[in-house]
Amino acid sequence: MCQSNRNLRAFIQAGLLLICAMGTLLPSLAANGPLPPINLRCEYLKNPLGIDVLQPRFAWVLEHSERGQRQSGHQVLVAARQSVLDQDKGDMWDSGKVVSEDSTQVAYNGKPLESGRTYYWKVRYWDQEGNASSYSPAAQFEMGLLLPQEWKGQWIGGANQLRTEFQLAEAVVRARAYICGLGYYELRINGSKVGSSVLDPAWTTYEKRVLYATYDVTSNLKRGANAVGVMLGEGWYKSRSLLLQMNIELASGKQISIASNPSWKAKDGPIGSDSVWDGEIYDATKETPDWDTPGFNDSGWTAAQVVKNPGGVLSAQMMPPIQVVDTIVPLAMTSPQPGVYVFDMGQNFSGWTQLRVKGPRGTAVKLRFSELIYDTGMINRENIRGAKSCDIYILRGDEGPELYEPRFTYHGFRYVEVTGFPGTPGLDALRGRVVRSAVDSAGNFATSKPLLNQIQRIIRWGQSTNLHSIPTDCDQRDERQGWLGDAHVTAEEAMLNFDMAAFYTNFIRDIRDVQDAAGTITDTVPHRYGSRPADPAWGTAYPLLCWYMYEQYGDRRILEENYDGLKKYVEFLRSKAPDNVLRYSYYGDWVPVEKTPGELVSDAYYYYDVTLLSKIAQLLGKSADAQTYSQLAGQIKDAFNREFYDAKRGVYANGTQTANALPLFLDLVTKDNRDAVAGNLFQDIAYHHDSHVTTGFIGVKYLFPVLTRLGQADLAYDMATQTTYPGWGYMIANGATTLWELWQKRTGPSMNSHNHPMFGSVGAWFYQALAGINVEPDSVGYRRIRIEPQIVRDLTWASATVETIRGTVSSYWTHSPGVITLDVVIPVNSDARILIPKEEQMTDVVVREGDRVIWENGRAVPGVPGVTGVSRGKDGSITVEAGSGRYSFKLTGQ
């Protein structure tokens, strides 16, 4: 590079730096008072396309230059045109100034929203002094096809490739494609794939509901000839049908629709077979290039057939689609036998591989997937049972390398065996492609203890790669089902790690869809495995997921919409418990080290469900129901104690950790017996099991919060950090990169998935106890926050951040002898109770916030902005009441 160029570059760089520096400085100079709201969401989604909720709910996050701030009012504008919104007008809805604290779950209340229309919205707020922010940047949402009669197409099939062509006489101003292609589809227009979703649509109970996606295809279409091609896979539908409609607005304002009908052409393409469990066979010699572009000669194709309507109502798919979210470079490749190459991705995950290969036409390369490997270096597929999990690619024989990724299958794997490869593959022959529902990350958690960070890592991998439009039990074997037990025990952990609001909204509707007139639901949703009625410890997912949605996101509407369903479910349980004890059970505390009687587990959940129903009834103003169910809960509690409490031993049933933890967690234990039961639980853990967990996946969810609540966080921590069997550290010590299904290390043909998220429920305890981030019990949606970290054993720091529905909440503490620091972030429009722990022996405690003292000589020192109260708790910990803002506390003592 010549000198002058270099100077120019340096000059530009310096300029950029200056602009960046000004960029960071300027807002803070100008940023006094309330800042414009950010992170605008509609039905939990950012700028969603194609929603079918008629009164969608809005949420925004507030920012302010000062601490202790809240919203005293807001104004939402919704306009049918961006230009109207730009003039600060809302021709669809102008809420006016609403005196309200609500910055989430604000329901649209304007003119009726119309099918297919895009709406633009923004919001401003007033802080507690009555100062208004400027308006937020504009966001948008768009309605789907709201009425059944607006669907003009027919369900068609007949082959795994369908195509049509059409002419557009004018330029396209706006075009939308509405598509439901079962089991899976790939939509292509004029030679390219539309959108980035894969394995779409979501798996539903197809005879009840099918989901369609909406795409903006304006830029895919052109004046003149256009072609649409759709590839179909069998997916969970086990058949192929397409319903498609494109609504196109031309330059003159003319509207036309292109819809699926028997005038379309059909012909099987290169995909020879596809199956979720078994894999895909793709014969590239059968490709017909340009089949999805106009002018293609389809005279050899047959007419598409009209096929059976799947039967379910068409609903908009309103959650993050499944996508390729990441690409993994393999760690290593070996050749355990001539011609057999085994790639190690270094990580267990769900998805597939991208194959890069060059060779003679007709060469078949076979990819077989496994989680495990034998000592010989060959892949071990015993634990994937009946799933063939095998992709075959037959080469075209191009001059350059050919790239292949399957479309309509996915695998759970770490290892890939490649056979039939022409020549010797290099590491660049394969890339891992991570495929899952593309929910955003919402939380992170880290501590000074590397083992905990490793556990957190395998929890996140296990959890996220089991999100496949429904929460699945595993991703590799001939199952991959929405087992409800696994779904509810992991839900809190999932909500702290990922933005799950839209995902669970959809899944709760899936649960409602399987409910029958008798109120029963099924073990798996959609129902394919397991029983109807569900095991009560599985069926409880229905009330529990609704409740977690309310607690974490403040979603009252989900309670309203499901109230009748929940009541029917509880009434069904009641019909099975004439003496107030619910005994039927199939699985109980599944995969434990020590078994607990299933009846105890079922009955405890019966109590839990009835209690929740009574609370929900109360919340929704159904006071008669609230009373009925709270009385019933009392009767169940009495019966539970009569049936399961062993007064001689001071334990429930056979005294396992689960048998005692469940009643303690649910407050089923009478006051007189509490100390005995708690004491026996501690004894069992510490002395009989050397601080190891012995529960199955039900008990473990409650064991950790119970111990914490009873002041035994150290004991919980001991269990969480064991490196010997049974425990998470044992999995890590044995090379786990995702959570196992069993505490035991098994690799045979039995049930032993190596990517099963349900033991990851301890992840919620990481956030809630170790970092201390909680919703206050009397509050929801992080309106009131409780920061209550547990400073345990050798941990010298812990840190977590959660992007809640109201904004960022974070907690970071450090502990060194005599000094505890705690940094906290509370979003605007929330307040917090912050419990700063102290060392047990500490006296003469002094607490500072920044460089100002807030507690000294046993008294609060007022005057620190945002801090509204400081007091001392029974255990000597210091409780700070604070409004929004960032705080840095430091507690010292003698």
- Residue from 479, 555, 594, 718 touching ligand BGC (CB under 6 A): that is 479
Are 475 and 167 contacting, i.e. CB atoms less than 8 angstroms apart?
no
CB of 732 to ligand BGC, least distance (A): 21
333 vs 751, beta carbon nearer ligand BGC: 751
Residue nearer to ligand BGC on the CB measure, 349 or 587 = 587
Nearer to ligand BGC, 159 or 537 (CB): 537
CB contact set of 448 (below 8 Å; sequence gap of 6+): 794, 795, 796, 797, 798
Cβ contacts of 714 within 8 Å, gap of 6 or more: 792, 793
Q: Of 229 and 592, which CB lies nearer to ligand BGC in the complex structure?
A: 592
DSSP symbol at 469 = S
The single residue among 587, 607, 644, 743 that binds ligand BGC, judged by CB under 6 A, is 587
Please identify which residue in 485, 565, 597, 663 interacts with ligand BGC, judged by CB under 6 A. 485
Give the whole-angstrom CA distance, residue 710 versus residue 868.
28
Contact, 376 vs 427, CB < 8 A? no
Residue 474 lies near ligand BGC (rule: CB under 6 A): yes
* 449 vs 477, beta carbon nearer ligand BGC: 477
In the bound complex, what is the minimum distance in angstroms from residue 356's beta carbon to ligand BGC? 34
Cβ-based nearer residue to ligand BGC, 229 or 485:
485
> What are the Cα distances from residue 432, in Å, to 4, 165, 223, 284, 479?
45, 36, 39, 21, 22
Stretch that binds ligand BGC, among 56-64, 91-99, 472-480, 855-863 (CB under 6 A): 472-480
Stretch that binds ligand BGC, among 10-18, 477-485, 638-646, 768-776 (CB under 6 A): 477-485
Q: How far is the CB of 489 from ligand BGC (least distance, A)?
A: 9
Round to the nearest angstrom and report the end-to-end CA distance of the chain. 64
Query: Toward ligand BGC, which CB reaches closer, 274 or 473?
Result: 473
234/473 with CB nearer ligand BGC: 473
Phi, psi (rounded to 5 degrees) for 716 = -60, -40
CB of 380 to ligand BGC, least distance (A): 19
Question: Judged by CB under 6 A, does residue 473 bind ligand BGC?
Answer: yes
Instruction: Give the nearer residue to ligand BGC in terms of CB position, either 479 or 718.
Output: 479
Helix, strand, coil % (nearest 5) of the chain? 25, 30, 40
Stretch that binds ligand BGC, among 26-34, 172-180, 215-223, 473-481 (CB under 6 A): 473-481
Question: Cβ 662 to ligand BGC, closest distance in Å?
Answer: 17
For the CB of residue 487, give the shortest distance to ligand BGC in the complex, in Å: 9
What is the chain's alpha carbon radius of gyration, rounded to the nearest angstrom? Answer: 29
| Options 369-377, 479-487, 623-631, 658-666: segment touching ligand BGC (CB under 6 A) | 479-487
CB nearer ligand BGC, residue 523 or residue 555: 523
Number of residues forming the site for ligand BGC (CB under 6 A) = 10
Tell me which residue has tokens 């996101």. Answer: 553
**Cα-based angle 227, 216, 274 (whole degrees, multiple of 5):** 60
Instruction: Map the footprint of ligand BGC across residues 743-802, applying CB under 6 A.
Output: 756, 758
Shortest distance, CB of residue 463 to ligand BGC, whole angstroms? Answer: 14
Contact between 371 and ligand BGC (CB under 6 A)? no
Residue (71 or 761) nearer to ligand BGC, CB: 761
Residue 870, amino acid: V
**Sign of the CA dihedral with 666 first, then 671, 674, and 676 last:** negative
User: Among the candidate windows 71-79, 480-488, 497-505, 642-650, which touches ligand BGC by CB under 6 A?
Assistant: 480-488
Q: State which residue, 214 or 761, has the beta carbon closest to ligand BGC.
A: 761
Output the smallest distance, CB 871 to ligand BGC, in A.
Answer: 45
Q: Any residues with CB less than 8 A from the CB of 396 and at least 6 apart, and which? A: 284, 285, 287, 361, 402
Shortest Cβ 435–ligand BGC spacing (Å): 20
Buried (b) or exposed (e) across 700-732, using 16+ Cβ within 10 A? bbbbbbbbbebebbebbbbbbbbeeebbbbbbb
Tell me: does residue 412 bind ligand BGC (CB under 6 A). Answer: no
Residue 482 contacts ligand BGC per CB under 6 A: no
486 binds ligand BGC (CB under 6 A): yes
Helix axes 657-665, 674-683, angle to 10 degrees: 140
Task: Say how far residue 578 (Cα) sits from the centre of its chain.
Answer: 38
Give the Å distances, CA to CA, from 164 to 57, 183, 259, 444, 580: 38, 20, 9, 47, 62
CB of residue 545 to ligand BGC, shortest distance in Å: 15
Task: Output the smallest distance, CB 589 to ligand BGC, in A.
Answer: 10
Smallest separation, CB 483 to ligand BGC (Å): 4
**Structure letter (DSSP) for residue 687:** I
Encode 576-608 in three state secondary structure: CCCCCCCCCCCCCCCCCCCCCCHHHHHHHHHHH
Angle at the Cα of 868 (from 864 to 871), degrees rounded to 5? 100
Q: In angstroms, give the least distance from the CB of 556 to ligand BGC.
A: 30
**Which amino acid, residue 332?**
A
Q: In the bound complex, what is the minimum distance in angstroms from residue 566's beta carbon to ligand BGC?
A: 21
Q: Is 717 in the site for ligand BGC (CB under 6 A)?
A: no
Q: Classify burial at 395, counting beta carbons within 10 Å of its beta carbon; exposed 0-12, middle 13-18, buried 19 or more.
A: buried
When the beta carbons of 486 and 609 are compared against ligand BGC, the nearer one is 486
Q: What's the closest the beta carbon of residue 474 comes to ligand BGC, in angstroms?
A: 6
Q: Which stretch binds ligand BGC (CB under 6 A): 153-161, 433-441, 471-479, 603-611?
A: 471-479
How far is Cα 241 from Cα 146, in angstroms, rounded to an integer?
21
Q: Quick one: DSSP state of residue 758?
A: G
* Out of 155, 369, 590, 759, the residue judged to bind ligand BGC by CB under 6 A: 590
One character per residue 834-863, x = contact with ligand BGC (rule: CB under 6 A): ------------------------------
The whole-angstrom separation of Cα 159 and Cα 681 is 61
Of 693, 273, 274, 751, residue with least CA distance to 474 = 751
Q: Which is nearer to ligand BGC, 370 or 774 (CB)?
A: 370
Q: Which is nearer to ligand BGC, 583 or 872 (CB)?
A: 583
Please say which residue, 637 or 754, places its beta carbon nearer to ligand BGC: 754
Strands (E), 377-518: 379-380, 390-394, 402-404, 411-419, 430-437, 443-447
Please, which residue, 473 or 684, has the CB nearer to ligand BGC? 473
Q: Which is nearer to ligand BGC, 354 or 531 (CB)?
A: 531
Give the shortest CB-751-to-ligand BGC separation in angstroms: 6
Residues near 873 by beta carbon (within 8 Å), at least 6 away in sequence: 835, 879
Q: 3-class DSSP state for residue 427?
A: helix
Per the CB < 8 A criterion, the answer to whether 543 and 607 are in contact is no
Contact segment (CB under 6 A) with ligand BGC among 21-29, 481-489, 496-504, 678-686 equals 481-489
In sequence order, what are the residues at sequence separation of 6 or more whose Cβ sits closer than 8 angstroms to the Cβ of residue 386?
277, 477, 478
Beta pairing, strands 651-652 & 645-646:
antiparallel
User: What residues from 263 to 322 belong to the interface with ligand BGC (CB under 6 A)?
Assistant: none
Residue of the chain from 352, 483, 503, 767 that contacts ligand BGC (CB under 6 A): 483
Q: Are 791 and 837 in contact (CB under 8 A)?
A: yes
Interface with ligand BGC (CB under 6 A): 473-474, 479, 483, 485-486, 587, 590, 756, 758
